[in-house]
Structure 1
Amino acid sequence: MLALRPSCEHCNKALAPDAQDAMICTFECTFCQVCVEQLLENVCPNCAGGFSPRPIRPRHNYVNHNCLQTYPASTEVVHKPVDLKKHKLLLSMLKGLAPELR
C-alpha cells in the first residue's frame, strides 16, 4: 500500500493524507503539484518516470477497515531537494518524451 509521505521531497511542503496537490511517480517519490509542473516538468528526478495525482485513502472504515485509522500515513519525511542543474540535463536527454514513451 502507498506510504502517503507527509511532504514534498523538493520544497518540503506539507502534504496531508488528503492533499489534492500531492503527486507520485511509480516508485512513490512524492512531490507537490507546483514542483512537478513548474520545476520538474513531469519528470521524476529519481527515476525519469512521470507523475500522477496521489490517491486519497478514506479517513473512515467503509470496507474491510481499509482506511487511515487502520493504515495511517507515513510520518517519515524524505527531503532531498532536486539538483536543478542535473535535472535540466535529464530533461534535455528526454527531449520532451511523454512518460509512456520513456
Structure 2
Amino acid sequence: MALEMRDRCERCTTAVLPPDAPALICSYECTFCVACGEAMEGVCPNCAGELVPRPRRAVGM
C-alpha cells in the first residue's frame, strides 16, 4: 500500500507540497506544511497523533 502524497497543507491550504517537498504527516496521512506543523507543536489536530517528516519521492514518480 503506497503512501498518499497529498499536495496541499490541510491547515493553511495555500502551501503547495509536491512529492519532493518537505512536509509533515501523521499515521492517518493527514498532511501539513512544516510551518503549520511547527505552529501546532507537532500534534495532528484531526487525530492528536504525532506529526513526523513525510518521506520524499522523486519527482515524476
**TM-score w.r.t. structure 1 length?**
0.54
Does structure 1 residue 19 correspond to structure 2 residue 18? no
Number of residue pairs aligned between Structure 1 and Structure 2 = 59
Superposition misfits of 4+ residues, deviation over 2 angstroms: none
RMSD: 1.2
User: Please, which runs of 5 or more residues in structure 2 have no aligned partner?
Assistant: none
**TM-score w.r.t. structure 2 length?**
0.87
Deviations 1:43-76 (A, max 9, x none): 101110111111012346xxxxxxx1xxxxxxxx
Q: Which has the larger radius of gyration?
A: 1
Select the structure that is richer in helix. Answer: 1
Following superposition of structure 1 onto structure 2, how do residues 51-66 of structure 1 map, counting pairs within 5 Å? 51-59=51-59
**What fraction of aligned residue pairs are identical, expressed as a percent?**
53
CA distance in 2: counterparts of 1:55 and 1:32, whole angstroms: 13
User: Please, which runs of 5 or more residues in structure 1 have no aligned partner?
Assistant: 61-67, 69-102
Does structure 1 residue 48 correspond to structure 2 residue 61? no
